[in-house]
Structure 1
C-alpha cells in the first residue's frame, strides 16, 4: 500500500494548485527542485522521486510570487552613526 503522505511530482503540482491556485507543469516543479527553490524528495520508489506532503503544503503557502527575484541578495542595512558635533558659544 502506498503512503498517502508521499507525493509524486504530478501530485505536488496538484497540491500547489489546490493551495494557491497557481498552475505549473511537473517539469517546472522538477526545475524548482533542481535549483533549490522547492523541497528535495524524501524517498524514491524505483526511479520515481517522492515528496513529503507536509513539506509541499508548507512550500506552496510560502513560495515567492510570480516575478519575484530570488537570485538577488538581500541589501545590507546600514547603521546610522550619531554625529557628535560640539558647538561653542
Structure 2
C-alpha cells in the first residue's frame, strides 16, 4: 500500500520531508535544513504533526537544482 496525502481544496499532492528528500535525492535532514534556511520550498501545511510540502513546488525546485548542478559541471 502507498497512501498519498491530497489537498481537498486544490487536489494537489502533498509530500512529507522524507518524500521530498527521496524525490530530490537528498537526505531527509539535508532537505529540512535547506527548507529551514530558505534554500528549498516552504512547507504548505501541517497535519497531525507532519510538515507537508507541495509536490509541485518540490518538483520545480528539484528541477532547477538539477539544472544548476548540470550547468556548473559543464
Question: Could you say whether these structures have the same fold, taking a TM-score greater than 0.5 normalized by the shorter chain as the test?
Answer: yes
For residues 34 and 2 of structure 1, what CA distance do their matches in structure 2 show? 22
Q: Runs of 5+ in structure 2 lacking a partner?
A: 7-11
Normalised by the size of structure 2, how large is the TM-score? 0.71
Root-mean-square deviation (Å): 2.2
Residues paired across the two proteins, number: 61
For residues 31 and 60 of structure 1, what CA distance do their matches in structure 2 show? 15
> Which contiguous aligned blocks of 4+ residues in structure 1 show a shift greater than 4 angstroms?
none
| One of 2, 9, 12 as aligned partner of 2:20 | 12
User: 1:48 maps to what in 2?
Assistant: 50
Structure whose alpha-carbon radius of gyration is higher: 1
Higher strand share: 2
User: 1:25 maps to what in 2?
Assistant: 27
